[in-house]
């Protein structure tokens, strides 16, 4: 399957959460394609630093606003129609689940509905960033898109899991009943430059601790697994879905599955750190295993991740090293 580029020069694209980790990388590629991009962010977890290199670009506008309050229609960059809307906004780390639960629920529900209405009005392609968290603590491995998941609807992680599941349901309702051209991507564990060092996710936490010479804190026994994907591979997959006519949901990530213990040990080795690995109490509802079945992504989008995990971790470590210096 070969997907032709659909969005490029002359197209206007709205990206919510545009100053965040993954969306800022997406914007770089969209700008390089020739798109005019409007990034919307309320900076609850996003950072202007992530898009500072685009501040003077003639085809980039950063709008400070909360999508949960509706789009600021009076803003000159928001008023004209969009050809594509990418709903990427949401705090997305375990630390955020505990500190920003209401904001997460609102951006995954109220904001989604506002953006779906705008996409219908504009006749825009709508791409919704969902998550592997939609599978909860899976009892099927690897996870296929037909698996309905094993989610605790009232646990600490539920604000994120259920908000994304609502967004998926809303997106499909608009697709089926209002003719919306929509796609859903389920994003698996992603890492790379521009992650927040203190966001609570494993890779930035382990790297920051290793570079400071602090003990690496692994939750539980460290036997739980994640499949880690370098951000460039994820961005390529998201844009393949955007350019296609597929509705999904479609998994995007890699099949490189590692235990948290292995990940910690690799980061100690790659940083040249003297840090030891220690074990702390595991958080509630922490999934036991994660690995995407990429069959749909391969057959319908021609997607294939290509960044070697060791290379991706080296690039990420270098970014964090520069930040800490």
User: What amino acid positions are annotated as catalytic residues?
Assistant: 160
Q: What is the DSSP string of 90-117?
A: ---SHHHHHH-HHHHHHHTTHHHHHHHH
Helix axes 231-243, 21-33, angle to 10 degrees: 60
CB 199 within 8 A of CB 96: yes
CA dihedral sign of residues 163, 129, 141, 190: negative
CA dihedral sign of residues 1, 12, 116, 91: positive
- Determine phi and psi for 248, rounding to 5 degrees: 75, -155
CB 271 within 8 A of CB 207: yes
DSSP 34: T
Task: Locate the DSSP E strands across the chain.
Answer: 12-16, 36-41, 60-64, 84-87, 125-131, 181-187, 190-191, 216-219, 225-227, 229-230, 250-252, 257-259, 277-280
């Amino acid at each position: 399957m070969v997907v032709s580029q659909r969005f490029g020069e002359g197209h206007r694209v709205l990206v919510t959460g545009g100053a965040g980790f993954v969306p800022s990388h997406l914007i770089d590629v969209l700008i390089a394609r020739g798109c005019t991009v409007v990034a919307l962010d309320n900076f609850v977890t996003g950072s202007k630093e992530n898009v500072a290199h685009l501040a003077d670009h003639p085809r980039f506008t950063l709008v400070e606003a909360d999508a949960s309050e509706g789009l600021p229609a009076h803003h000159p960059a928001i008023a004209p129609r969009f050809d594509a809307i990418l709903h990427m906004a949401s705090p997305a780390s375990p630390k955020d689940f505990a500190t920003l639960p209401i904001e997460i629920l609102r951006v995954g529900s109220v904001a989604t509905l506002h953006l779906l209405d705008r996409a219908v009005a504009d006749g825009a392609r709508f791409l919704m960033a969902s998550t592997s968290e939609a599978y909860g603590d899976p009892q099927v491995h690897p996870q296929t898109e037909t698996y309905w998941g094993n989610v605790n609807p009232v646990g600490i992680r539920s604000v994120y899991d259920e908000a994304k599941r609502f967004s998926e349901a809303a997106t499909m309702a608009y697709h089926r009943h209002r003719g919306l051209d929509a796609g859903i991507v389920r994003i698996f564990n992603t890492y790379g430059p521009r992650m927040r060092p203190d966001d609570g996710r494993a890779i930035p936490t382990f790297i920051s601790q290793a570079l400071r010479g602090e003990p690496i804190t692994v939750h539980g026994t460290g036997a739980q697994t994640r499949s880690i994907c370098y951000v460039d591979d994820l961005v390529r997959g998201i844009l393949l879905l955007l350019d296609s006519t597929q509705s999904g949901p479609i998994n995007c990530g890699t099949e490189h599955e590692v235990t948290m213990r292995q990940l910690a040990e690799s980061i100690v080795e790659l940083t040249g750190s003297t840090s030891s690995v220690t074990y702390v109490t595991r958080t509630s509802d922490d999934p036991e295993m994660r690995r995407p079945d990429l069959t749909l992504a391969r057959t319908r989008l021609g997607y294939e991740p290509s960044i070697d995990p060791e290379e991706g971790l080296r690039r990420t470590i270098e970014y964090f090293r520069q930040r800490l210096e």
